[in-house]
Structure 1
């Protein structure tokens, strides 16, 4: 039995089909089971509740072999590290009580660098990793850069203005990864019973791209001119707050983007084992184009 958290999220939902295709028994923890795709809901066991509830996680992990952990995002919490640990500690306590020894989780690049200090959710995610390691379980982290799916946050401005915006440097090439490739990597570790100990693997996509590179690719795929516009950091932060983020989240996200501009996402070399197959061009055709033109 493999337990998957956030099964309706961008990454958790991408793990489950691989496990089912391999004939695995799968149990999911879902706050809103009705959001599960029907073809998934009918083939998995469902525990209703949140992974920050230890009783829910004890129920979910009963008789389980391993767990896939994703901390759901928050735009309004006032302490990123406390928020991440609020979801991590109950999972670890439930793993201990139920004798579950293996965990795979979604993490971030930048571990071991000064760039990852005081960078909002990046710092919090790495604190989560340290807590998992201290528990002594067998552990694999998926060290992820920016998600291609983040571009979906810009669909309206791409449709209406042919533009997308960020305070990031326009020509800095960084890795970009599709969530389906993170899901495939996570499933690979969950299905492999041979690994033990603690470690991780970067999930880097096939190539580094700048925002100007991405704009050129989008222009070709969408058949319309798209350009990237760098914006002042304070204006970007104000826009986040205007759209519902609180001060802590907005500043943390801004700090993260500054760290990425300073090279945080380029600390891991691209190698055969961490190079994932989905190109940004392919992702644009499969995901962005239907969203932008629909």
Structure 2
């Protein structure tokens, strides 16, 4: 049996879906069991645990052959790094108490760097905490999520405009779909011997914001233009979107690092895998999911 944190989120959801599609026994770890009923209907066991509840986390890990762990963002924390560090220690303590032998941890490109990576700095701490557990840990260091473009679906649909903090607009960077992250995470849980302790995951090719705009235009059947968000407007745009001040600052710093090219994969370490999901396929799924969302969800 494999236990999956964040089983109703993007990456955890993709990982448990991959396991269930293979007929594997899986335990979904989530905060709200009501949100996991679709997983229960597919045969998953449900466990309720928050990242700050060591006892519940340890219980949810106990008996698992391997667990998939992640440190989800806390966008409203007054001290974003401090809150993430506390969650890292909580998860690591739960791993030790449960005695689980193997762990696959979602990490990121740039997680080996102790500074200059903005929000990714939390994963430097996460990796360090998990290395102290005594478990066999595989770090899945993914690159920029294709699904991050979900944040701009409204202006894309309503105005044919794709605002971007990735600059310049025609500069291609590695991106990967959460579907590929989930698929690879499931593979690492089931068959760890085939891979290195650090797995770098990128998409089928690099993409620029202009590529995302072109893909949206093709999918929607009308023009979509990528436009730059001025650097001095980033923080306000993020807080206006509902992020806390500290998290917004961390995202600004992350985008600065991406744009400057100062957040590479760790040179000469681990193995690099390529996903198969294209940017167009990932964006098509975002549009389909948005279209399927009940209109009653809006005020």
Normalised TM-score (structure 2)? 0.88
Query: Are 1:78 and 2:78 matched, yes or no?
Result: yes
**1:50-199 correspondence to structure 2 within 5 Å:** 50-113=50-113, 117-169=115-167, 170-194=169-193, 199=197
Say which is worse superposed, 181-190 or 81-90, in terms of deviation: 81-90
* Residues 7 and 30, structure 1, Cα contact 8 Å, conserved in 2: yes
Judging changes above 3 Å, is the alpha-carbon distance between structure 1 residues 279 and 265 closer, same or farther for their aligned structure 2 residues? farther
Query: Are 1:22 and 2:6 matched, yes or no?
Result: no
**What 5-or-longer segments of structure 2 have no aligned partner?**
294-299
* Residues 75 and 247, structure 2, Cα contact 8 Å, conserved in 1: yes
CA distance in 2, matches of 1:92, 1:105: 11
**What 5-or-longer segments of structure 1 have no aligned partner?**
none
* Residues 29 and 46, structure 1, Cα contact 8 Å, conserved in 2: yes
Could you give the per-residue CA deviations for residues 20-41 of structure 1, whole angstroms, max 9, x where no partner exists?
2333321222111111252545
Could you give the per-residue CA deviations for residues 170-222 of structure 1, whole angstroms, max 9, x where no partner exists?
122101111111000000000115369x7211111101111112212221222
Judging changes above 3 Å, is the alpha-carbon distance between structure 1 residues 293 and 186 closer, same or farther for their aligned structure 2 residues? closer
Normalised TM-score (structure 1)? 0.90
Alpha-carbon distance, 1:50 to partner: 0.9
Alpha-carbon distance, 1:260 to partner: 0.3
CA distance in 2, matches of 1:286, 1:47: 28
**Corresponding residue pairs, total:** 290
Structure 1 consecutive aligned stretches of length 4 or more whose deviation exceeds 4 Å: none
Alpha-carbon distance, 1:42 to partner: 5.2
Alpha-carbon distance, 1:76 to partner: 1.0
Alpha-carbon distance, 1:106 to partner: 1.1
